[in-house]
Every structure is written in C-alpha cells, then in structure tokens.
Amino acid sequence: MSEIPSTVNNVDLIAATDAKIVKVNLYSQRAEVTRLCSFKAVSGVNKVVLKGLSNQLEPASLRVEGRGHATIHDVGLGYTPRPTVPTTSLELELAQRNLSLKKKALERSEQSLSALESYLGTMNVQHVTPSGLSAVVSQYQTVTQGLDEETLALATEVKNLEAEVQREKEKLGTPKDWNSNLTRQVSVSVVTDVEGDIVLSVVYAVSAARWLAKYDIRVDMQQKEKSVKLVYKAVISQNTSEDWTNVPITLETAVPTLGIELPTLSPWNVSVIQPIRAESKKSAFPLRRSRMLASAPLAEAYSAEKEESDDDMGFGLFDDDSPTGMAALAAPVTHIGAYVNSKGNVNASFRIPGLVSVPGTGEEKTFTIAEPELEATISWFSIPKADLHTHMKASIKNSSVFTLLPGEASIYVDGSFISSTHIQDVSPQEKFDCPLGIDPTLRVTYHPQRKNRGQTGLWNASNVYTYAQRITVQNTKADFAVDNLRIVDQIPVSQDNQVTVKLLQPALSLPTKSVIGGTSKSSEAPQTPTLPSVKMEGGVVAQWKGSDEPDVDTASLGKDGMLSFLCGVQPQEKVNITLQWEVSYPAKTSVTGI
C-alpha cells in the first residue's frame, strides 16, 4: 500500500435514508438488524459516521463488515449530540408583538364596559326624566352589545395568538428532523489507497422488538381426512423508532442465552452439632440458636452456592461484558423450503413470505406464516351427573414441518367461532388436544335413579340396596353420525370393611394381578396387559375410566368407581345406557353417602 494521505475524508450518513435495512432476524424479545450503506471513498482515511440509529441498540452486538478494496481501521459507538437551536425567530417575535397588542385592546374593551356600567349606576331622576329613560336604556344596550362582541372577538384572537407563540417556541426547542429516540451513531474509519465505492454492512441487535405465535384452528366436521386447517400467524411489534419498511423478516424460535457451561454441585457434608455451654442464666437463647445452625461445612457450602446464584442474577442477555451474548444471533441462517428451517428439532426459523413493513412505534402487525392441513380425530365427552352438556374435543396431529410455539388460538367449527384456547409447544408429528366447545345437537338425559331395598340372612341380617341409573343419548343431527362419544359415570366406593359395593351392570371386573403386572413367567418379553371391557346393548363398550390412556396405571383402575361408556349414535337415533350396582352392610349399621 502506498503512503496514506494525512487528510481525512469525513462522510456523514443518515440511517433512515442512506443505510437500507436488508435483513431482520426477529427473536422473541429482540431483533438483529442488518443495514447496507455505500459511500465514495478517497485514497487515505475515510471517517464514516452513520447517524440516526435506535437508542435500543445493544452495544455488545455491534459489528461492521466492508466490501471493496479497503481496510476497516476502527469502529466506535456513541451518541449524536443534540444540535444547537436559536433562542428566537422572526416568526416568534411577530407573534409575541401581535399577542401584546391584542391583550391591550382586550383590556381597553373590558374597561369600557366597566366604565359604562358604573356611569349608568350613578344616574337618577335628577339626570333623566321618565320620558327620556327609554332612550337611555336603548342607547345603553346598543353600546354594550357592540362592546360585548368586540371583547369576545378579542379574547378569541388572544387565545389563538397564545397557541401560535407556543408553537413557535416548540419549533425553536426541537431541532429540525431531530428524534430523541434515534441518537445512536456508529463511526467507522476506513483506510484505502484507491478511490472507489465502498459498501459497509452494519449489524446490530435491538431490544423492544418481539414476535408472538397466534393461531386460527378451523375444523370442518364434514371432512373425514385432514379435517383441521391451521392458520399459523406471527404477531410482530417493535418500539425501536426505526421503521422496518419493505424488509425480509426471519422469525427465530431460539432464545439467545449466556452461561452455557454445565452446572456443578458443591460438597454436601454432614456432622454432629457441638452444643455451646451456657455461661450464665441469660445464655439460653444463644444455646437454642446454636442448635438451629448447620455445621460449618454446610454453612460454607450454602454461602458459596448463594454467592454463585447472586452472580447469575446480574447476568443478562447481551451484557456488555459477555463474550457470547451474540453467539446465537450471529449464527448464519439457512432456510429449507419456502418458509421453515428446523434446526435439529430444537429450534426453527420461519421466513415470512415477501417483504413486509413494521413501524417503529410499537404497533402490532399480524402476518400469516403458513396454512397447513392437519389430521384430527373428533371426539365427544359428557359427564351427565355433573353437567348435561356434551363437549367436543379434537386430537390433532401436527403432520406439518412446522414447530408450533406457545400461543393463543381462536377455534372455528364449520365457519363459526366457538372459543379460544392456548397451545403449548408442539413438535412435528406430535399430537395435541384442542377443545371445540359444546355440541347442542347431542342431548343427554340423566334419568332419576331407581333404588330397591332388600335384606339377607336371619341371625346376621344385612341390608341390601340395588341401584339403577339410566342414561339416554339422542343425536338430533340430520345426516351426521357421532362415532366417538364417551359417557363417564360412577358408582360409590366403600371406605369401610362393613360396607360392600358390587357392580352388577356392566359385568366389569377389576384387573387381576397378572394383568396389572403385564409380565410373563417365561423368558419372553413383557406382554402388554389386556384391560377388561364389556360390550353392552346398542354397541356400547364399557370400561374402567382411563383404560385407554397411554400412561394408564392399571393398579388403580376401578379403585375410584369411575366408568367410561364408549358409543356411537346414528343420526336421529337414541342410545340407552344402564348402570346397576349393589350396596350391602349390616342391618343395624348407619351408612352415609348413599
């Protein structure tokens, strides 16, 4: 490189007009912004100052890269000083002069009214004859009406001039094109030995920017396969005062974190507490306190652990002293397909199609990421003893390539809004449940309970009560069969050896020990237990509640007296379910709960 001239070429750039945003990577609580700016470099040192950046800029995240035959010598980050403004102007002086004149005119008008009223008050019969009183009053009204109109007009002019003076003062107090929220500036020294265009890439992170996931779940009850359409939305807002106008935005699900080292455990020591002898009668409290203290090693370990946690409390994202604060932000982003890139099933990034605009005022903007069609199983659920309503639920499989983030979801069934719910993290191919509200076309009747009393035995007589509970389900739909309806009811559970409860119908037995264990005495692999179920009239299948759950605890089945009846109901048809049980106890015993 030849000898560099000693002169410095100063280049001032404004971010809003001279440094276009070419990329935004938006995280849950911050964003990484990439700007490109170009300037005509001269041989030697070029001092480039990029002004008008957001005050939300994170200092530790700033990095600058160059394109062209030049070398970046140094990079600095500071604040743009507030420009000086004049204390007065021709417009302000003129407005103040007019205001002073109008105030004096208003004062004279008010004094005239006051003088006229005072003069009229001094007049009596010696000055005015009764015949001339009418003329005096008429003249008084004419003069005062004119003064009133003049006073009102002057007061309005004074008010308008006061507002004009205030506006002129505000213009003087605020420099032209000055925004107190955009005072950050980046200075870059670029050294080159040839003249030419140089392009600088300025990358930085800003807080006060976020995105949230939001969903519309649209269920088509007439569709058998892929009956759910999921509208995946992103709600974006940023209050950085930098407008993102026609920029590509990538939504990141990763959360930049610090402190990625593995945790460690402090030693855990146990020792005998050594009591402290009391030296006087007043030493009872210190002795009692000594018994409450842990041994010295334990106390030291706690103290060390507390100090370590206190240090962690002051360690935040993008700390100025952090060497890794921008590690996640600085990672290159690649996209698979049009919208999504799944990073090892841990994090994903979504590219919003096209170019979008988000104002820097905090206004929320909603964009659609994708609209995948998902497989779903619709089921109905009712506990008529507690509530006669029939609730709908959809078990949805996320068969798309998108990771569903936690967010609010609006549920629509056959085009009608039903309710809102909250979706947790759902990975691709994972299932999640979604409530669909109440189905009024399925009417459940919980008939009055029937009770019969009997007695057995002569010497050791026992009271025997037989109960029968009938449930009727009617499908009032014209042409839609309900195939997956679950009715839940219960029988009482005995808490005393003298009281016996026996299920009569359905003839459902409790799981045996061999079924509960689920293992074979042979050397073969453990067998999946076959849980008891009974097929009843009308195709109803009865089982203990929880039998078909994936994490069922077979040892506890039936212990709570809960039963499930699985049934299907054809259009305009009814299904009857009968539950019978028997309660017996000694004749001279009082029993509660039945």
Is 272 inside a domain boundary?
A: no
239-252 average pLDDT score: 94
Mean of the per-residue pLDDT values of the chain: 81
Q: Cβ atoms within 10 A of the Cβ of 368, count?
A: 13
Please indicate, yes or no, whether residues 37 and 149 belong to a single structural domain of this protein: no
- The answer, yes or no, to whether residue 337 has pLDDT greater than 50, is no
Domain boundary among 407, 438, 469: 438
Main-chain phi, psi angles of 256, to 5 degrees: -60, 125
Please indicate, yes or no, whether residues 390 and 508 belong to a single structural domain of this protein: no
Please indicate, yes or no, whether residues 485 and 550 belong to a single structural domain of this protein: yes
Residue 258 confidence (pLDDT): 47
Residue 279 confidence (pLDDT): 52
Band (31; pLDDT cuts 50, 70, 90):
very high
Residue 300 confidence (pLDDT): 36
Please indicate, yes or no, whether residues 157 and 26 belong to a single structural domain of this protein: no
Please indicate, yes or no, whether residues 64 and 164 belong to a single structural domain of this protein: no
User: For the segment 315-334, what is each residue's pLDDT rounded down to a tens digit?
Assistant: 233 333 333 333 333 333 33
Please indicate, yes or no, whether residues 43 and 106 belong to a single structural domain of this protein: no
CA triplet 324, 328, 334: central angle to 5 degrees? 150
Total number of domains constituting the chain? 5
**Mapping DSSP to helix (H, G, I), strand (E, B) and coil, where does residue 69 land?**
coil
Cα 252 to chain centroid distance, Å, stands at: 16
- The answer, yes or no, to whether residue 133 has pLDDT greater than 90, is no
**Mapping DSSP to helix (H, G, I), strand (E, B) and coil, where does residue 63 land?**
strand
Please indicate, yes or no, whether residues 456 and 563 belong to a single structural domain of this protein: yes
- The answer, yes or no, to whether residue 195 has pLDDT greater than 50, is yes
User: For the segment 408-466, what is each residue's pLDDT rounded down to a tens digit?
Assistant: 999 999 888 988 899 988 989 999 999 988 999 999 999 999 999 887 766 678 889 99
Q: Cβ atoms within 10 A of the Cβ of 143, count?
A: 13
For residue 287, the enclosing domain spans 283-313
Is 276 inside a domain boundary?
A: no
Residue 389 confidence (pLDDT): 94
Residue 546 confidence (pLDDT): 87
Is 399 inside a domain boundary?
A: yes
User: For the segment 363-407, what is each residue's pLDDT rounded down to a tens digit?
Assistant: 999 999 889 999 999 999 999 999 999 999 999 999 988 889 899
Is 244 inside a domain boundary?
A: yes
In the chain, % of residues over pLDDT 90: 45
Please indicate, yes or no, whether residues 235 and 365 belong to a single structural domain of this protein: yes
Instruction: Identify the residue with better confidence: 212 or 310.
Output: 212
Is 472 inside a domain boundary?
A: yes
Is 319 inside a domain boundary?
A: no
Please indicate, yes or no, whether residues 96 and 43 belong to a single structural domain of this protein: no
The strand pairing partners of 432, in sequence order, are: 396
Cα 379 to chain centroid distance, Å, stands at: 29
User: For the segment 138-179, what is each residue's pLDDT rounded down to a tens digit?
Assistant: 777 888 888 888 899 999 999 999 999 988 888 776 666 778
Domain boundary among 173, 198, 231: 173
Please indicate, yes or no, whether residues 346 and 288 belong to a single structural domain of this protein: no
By the 8 A CB rule, do 20 and 35 touch? yes
Exposed/middle/buried for residue 61 (C-beta within 10 Å: 0-12, 13-18, 19+): buried
Domain boundary among 148, 173, 198: 173
Is 592 inside a domain boundary?
A: no
- The answer, yes or no, to whether residue 356 has pLDDT greater than 80, is yes
Is 100 inside a domain boundary?
A: yes
Band (529; pLDDT cuts 50, 70, 90):
low
Instruction: Identify the residue with better confidence: 298 or 452.
Output: 452
**Separation of alpha carbons 504 and 487, rounded Å:** 18
**Separation of alpha carbons 319 and 326, rounded Å:** 10
Band (125; pLDDT cuts 50, 70, 90):
low
Please indicate, yes or no, whether residues 34 and 66 belong to a single structural domain of this protein: yes
Please indicate, yes or no, whether residues 46 and 60 belong to a single structural domain of this protein: yes
